[in-house]
Structure 1
Amino acid sequence: MRNQVVSHEDWLKARLDLLAAEKEFTHRRDALTRRRREMPWERVEKDYRFEGPNGTLSLPDLFDGRSQLVVYHFMFAPDWDEGCKSCSFWADTFDGIPIHLAHRDVAFTAISRAPFAKLDAYRRRLGWSFAWVSSQGSDFNYDYHVSFTPAEMEADKAYYNYEIQSDTGSDQPGISVFAKDEAGQVFHTYSCYTRGIDMVNGAYQFLDLVPKGRDEDRLRFTMEWVRRNDQY
């Protein structure tokens, strides 16, 4: 693989042309980000319960004293022995972020349906330290459309990424955002799925800068190349 090789002057001209397009994209992204922040909220009516290292937690507990909460929906069903390798790829970038988010009034946690003991063992195996709780026995994953009932899977019709889809399996990834007011009421402000979660994957952002890019076009499926960090 080698692109056209040119003089420095021609390279600089091409770079400045691309820079103009990049700046336009950045301005459009900033506008989209403002629009995202201005989305209306919906009140969370259910009393969800989660299992963490110190026992049972409510959704407000996950805010850990902050007014905003980011949840990564990590694919790990109760009967699985390992978490999803693609979600694990995402999770390798999570450590180190929560302390910075906390200083902008944001808490972070991953949530999965597997029992907490499985999550904790897997987290230790891969060397992670971010918060991770179990929603086993709760409707949380189903209500936020990242897990699907046996009936939905049998019918091959599951509501995911804001449309009916087939072949979803039991669990899919996503990100959901919540806010809590001074009275303690919790609101759902945003959720995204599939390519919407690309923006938090640092490795993919770096790959998008190099000549080969993600280099996935010839693979059978996206991220076929990905392994858990202890399996390369």
Structure 2
Amino acid sequence: MKLNVVSADQWEAARQELLVKEKALTRARDAMAAERRRMPWMEVEKSYAFDGPGGKASLRDLFEGRRQLIVYRAFFEPGVHGWPEQACRGCSMVADQVAHLAHLNARDTTLAFVSRAPQTDIARLKARMGWEMPWYTVTDSFDTDFGVGEWHGTNAFFRDGDRVFRTYFIKSRGDEALGSTWSYLDMTALGRQEVWEESPEGYPQTPPYKWWNWHDSYTPGAAPDQRWVEVSDAGVTAFRKRAG
């Protein structure tokens, strides 16, 4: 491997040159997320049944009372390499990268995994691997109906009362970027729900940073911690001064 060793000034100049492109990529990613928030919705008119830790569950049940649902189809079933001790290696890497679910839940969003393995096998695998996401058993045509019958993929749904809508779908290499709270929220109909986002009129939006919390400290309906509001405001002010 040939090394390209330069001085500190040359290194910083090269970094600044690349930073221009990185910022453009960030803006393009934000613009793509804004387009997702304007995607048409497809109503899910068929009923689907899953097996869960508590017994039978419908697609609406997977929302756990929240408005948004993200469903990843993981391959853990007979015929998959590693069965029954392990799930698909790629799907297992996806599971390993999932951020703490409390942050998604705070944005009215639930993440769930589904597979065709029985619940006893899923429970054993989750305990062994340390995974905590809800994980259900597909019992019907849900996987084939939503583009994940023979390959992995991630579907986003929105619930309005008893009505459920499919709002977006990511598969193949698109799944590689998922796992963080931000990447999951960016694929949903409501996005991050922060005021800086370009969202359709009437979408829920709150100031950035203010809703953040320690994952064991979210309290539904609680006002933002005043000290954190002061700290985050000071950070925003300092950032704007540097940028300006």
TM range (shorter): 0.7 to 0.9
- Taking the aligned partners of 2:43 and 2:2, their CA distance within structure 1 comes to 53
Residue 127 of structure 2 is matched in structure 1 by 124
TM-score, normalised by the number of residues in structure 2 = 0.69
Aligned residues: 177
- Amino acid corresponding to residue 84 of structure 1 in structure 2: C
Q: Is 1:180 matched with 2:159? A: yes
1:99-131, Cα deviation, whole Å (9 max, x unpaired):
111100101110111111111111111111111
* Deviating 4+ runs (over 4 angstroms): none
- Taking the aligned partners of 1:104 and 1:201, their CA distance within structure 2 comes to 15
1:123-156, Cα deviation, whole Å (9 max, x unpaired):
1111111110101x31101111211xxxxxxxxx
1:183-204, Cα deviation, whole Å (9 max, x unpaired):
32000001111111111156xx
Residue 67 of structure 2 is matched in structure 1 by 67
Q: Which runs of 5+ in 1 are unaligned?
A: 148-170, 206-232
Identify the range of structure 1 (86-95 vs 102-111) with the bigger mean alpha-carbon deviation: 86-95
Residue 4 of structure 2 is matched in structure 1 by 4
Q: Is 1:140 matched with 2:118? A: no
Aligned-CA RMSD value: 1.6
The answer to whether the Cα contact below 8 Å between 2:99 and 2:179 also exists between their aligned partners in 1 is no
Residue 168 of structure 2 is matched in structure 1 by 190
Q: Is 1:90 matched with 2:69? A: no
1:138-185, Cα deviation, whole Å (9 max, x unpaired):
1101111211xxxxxxxxxxxxxxxxxxxxxxx32110000001x320
Residue 112 of structure 1 is matched in structure 2 by 115
The answer to whether the Cα contact below 8 Å between 1:42 and 1:188 also exists between their aligned partners in 2 is yes
- Amino acid corresponding to residue 87 of structure 1 in structure 2: C
Q: Which runs of 5+ in 2 are unaligned?
A: 184-244
- Taking the aligned partners of 1:95 and 1:12, their CA distance within structure 2 comes to 32
- Taking the aligned partners of 1:95 and 1:195, their CA distance within structure 2 comes to 19
The answer to whether the Cα contact below 8 Å between 1:179 and 1:186 also exists between their aligned partners in 2 is yes
Q: In the TM superposition, what is the alpha-carbon distance from 1:3 to its structure 2 partner?
A: 3.1
Residue 214 of structure 2 is matched in structure 1 by none
**Secondary structure at 2:13's aligned position in 1?**
helix
- Amino acid corresponding to residue 156 of structure 2 in structure 1: V
TM-score, normalised by the number of residues in structure 1 = 0.73
- Taking the aligned partners of 1:3 and 1:30, their CA distance within structure 2 comes to 35
